[in-house]
Amino acid sequence: MGEQEPNDQEKKPENAHEQLSSGSSSNTEQRANECILRAFNTERKTEGFDAFDPSGYLELYYSALLPEVAVQLKDLIKKIETREGIKTMISLQDLGQLLISEKKEQNFETLENYLIYDFMIRKVVPRILQDIPEDHLRILDVGGGPSIYQHIPLFGIADTIRHGEFLSQNREVVKKWKSGEKGHEWQTFFQCWKISQRQSLAEMGGDPEIKARIEQMLGMEDTALEDMLRASLTEVMSIDVFRTDLGIEEQESTQDLSHVSREGSVELLTSNFCIESATADIATWQNGIKNISAQVLPGKFLSMTAIRNAEWYKVGETRMDAVSIDADRLALELMSQNFEILELTELIGTQEQKEKDGYDGMIFVLAKKKEAPK
């Protein structure tokens, strides 16, 4: 991407949890970041994304899951996960070994998908239901790509889901899926969601009516569930994460804007593998985080996943630029945007994976925006 790379990452403290426990973030650091941001064109558009091929992307990252792995997943994860402060760490290699010994070999990309679902079902959904027991949850997904897997664990608790994406070819794929056209196969994702959600339902708090509704959904046919998600997905819209209002207000200028306010507009913003995959520049990444943070209402939630330590990642045979971050770096950035970190999970991959895929793990975070302004 060719811009000058500010040497910003080196200035960050080693461990976000020292800051999480002391509750103090460095003002100097924040001011330095603000200066860097001002020095860059913060309205920059994503470059080099023309090469993004939706089918190649879906084939590589979202191949079919095995329902029998979902059955065992929770117990397998419990065997290998470790804690450091509030951070949970999971070694992908250890999980892979356990599955090989169970004769259920899976590639890294598939393993990662089980773990994303585990995080959403066991950590994100129960925590949100604690605070928002009724179904008044408006979800905005930013950089949703051509995929819908991310909506499956959430649509049972959502009022509406809006799918925001930069590339028209990706929006087209989701629109076609919404209209019922045959496309990528998501059936095994619905099946794995049902298995893991059933396991977690008993331990979950929240409004009995919502729990009863989820229970009812778990008894539905996959095709009926898919239709239900199509109805919950109210909009597939154009979004640019590097614009201060994500470009939403501009698109909606002829519509009723009563739900859009300076204080934010949604109870849950989801963004998976978007911002760090859309730029190779750390200041631009920070700007993207700032822009999505502004969309979250005070006291409400942000759920994000990101690739870890990536300089690039693959879409088909093409290498796309990425910005290199880890869990502590992401947590610090969200804290500087007035978020409290509720859950932080780091998947630790291997050097071999980094050479093959360009990244060596993943970061999953659930954060809650503080009520008081910064």
Ligand X SMILES: C[S@@+](CC[C@H](N)C(=O)[O-])C[C@H]1O[C@@H](n2cnc3c(N)ncnc32)[C@H](O)[C@@H]1O
By CB under 6 A, which span of 99-107, 132-140, 209-217, 237-245 interacts with ligand X? 237-245
153 binds ligand X (CB under 6 A): no
Out of 112, 165, 326, 328, the residue judged to bind ligand X by CB under 6 A: 165
Angle, CA 109 vertex, CA 200 and CA 93 arms, to 5°: 80
241 binds ligand X (CB under 6 A): yes
Q: Is 316 helix (H, G, I), strand (E, B) or coil?
A: coil
By CB under 6 A, which span of 10-18, 74-82, 270-278, 359-367 interacts with ligand X? 270-278
239 binds ligand X (CB under 6 A): yes
Backbone angles phi, psi at 265, to 5 degrees: -135, -10
- Measure the CA–CA gap between 148 and 102, rounded to whole angstroms: 29
Count residues near ligand X (CB under 6 A). Answer: 22
- Measure the CA–CA gap between 279 and 286, rounded to whole angstroms: 10
Out of 174, 278, 325, 363, the residue judged to bind ligand X by CB under 6 A: 278
Closest contact distance (angstroms) between CB of 63 and ligand X is 13
By CB under 6 A, which span of 103-111, 153-161, 267-275, 355-363 interacts with ligand X? 267-275
303 binds ligand X (CB under 6 A): no
DSSP 248: H
Q: Which is nearer to ligand X, 88 or 279 (CB)?
A: 279
36 binds ligand X (CB under 6 A): no
145 binds ligand X (CB under 6 A): yes
358 binds ligand X (CB under 6 A): no
Return the closest-CA partner of residue 121 out of 81, 144, 155, 91: 155
Q: Which is nearer to ligand X, 19 or 46 (CB)?
A: 46
On whether the CB atoms of residues 36 and 6 are closer than 8 A, the answer is yes
- Measure the CA–CA gap between 70 and 8, rounded to whole angstroms: 40
Closest contact distance (angstroms) between CB of 86 and ligand X is 24
Angle, CA 112 vertex, CA 106 and CA 113 arms, to 5°: 90
On whether the CB atoms of residues 353 and 108 are closer than 8 A, the answer is yes
282 binds ligand X (CB under 6 A): no
Please list, in sequence order, all residues whose beta carbon lies within 8 angstroms of the beta carbon of residue 294, skipping any fewer than 6 positions away: 244, 245, 264
128 alpha-carbon distance from chain centroid: 15
Closest contact distance (angstroms) between CB of 150 and ligand X is 6
By CB under 6 A, which span of 29-37, 140-148, 293-301, 349-357 interacts with ligand X? 140-148
Please list, in sequence order, all residues whose beta carbon lies within 8 angstroms of the beta carbon of residue 173, skipping any fewer than 6 positions away: 54, 58, 146, 183, 184
Supply 241's token pair: 């994460």
Closest contact distance (angstroms) between CB of 164 and ligand X is 7
On whether the CB atoms of residues 138 and 154 are closer than 8 A, the answer is no
Tokens 């009022």 map to which residue? 159
By CB under 6 A, which span of 4-12, 45-53, 64-72, 73-81 interacts with ligand X? 45-53
- Measure the CA–CA gap between 40 and 344, rounded to whole angstroms: 29
Closest contact distance (angstroms) between CB of 172 and ligand X is 12
By CB under 6 A, which span of 35-43, 189-197, 273-281, 292-300 interacts with ligand X? 273-281
240 binds ligand X (CB under 6 A): yes
Q: Which is nearer to ligand X, 168 or 223 (CB)?
A: 168
Please list, in sequence order, all residues whose beta carbon lies within 8 angstroms of the beta carbon of residue 208, skipping any fewer than 6 positions away: none
Q: Which residues bind ligand X (CB under 6 A)?
A: 46, 49, 52, 142-145, 147, 150, 165-167, 170, 239-242, 272-274, 277-278
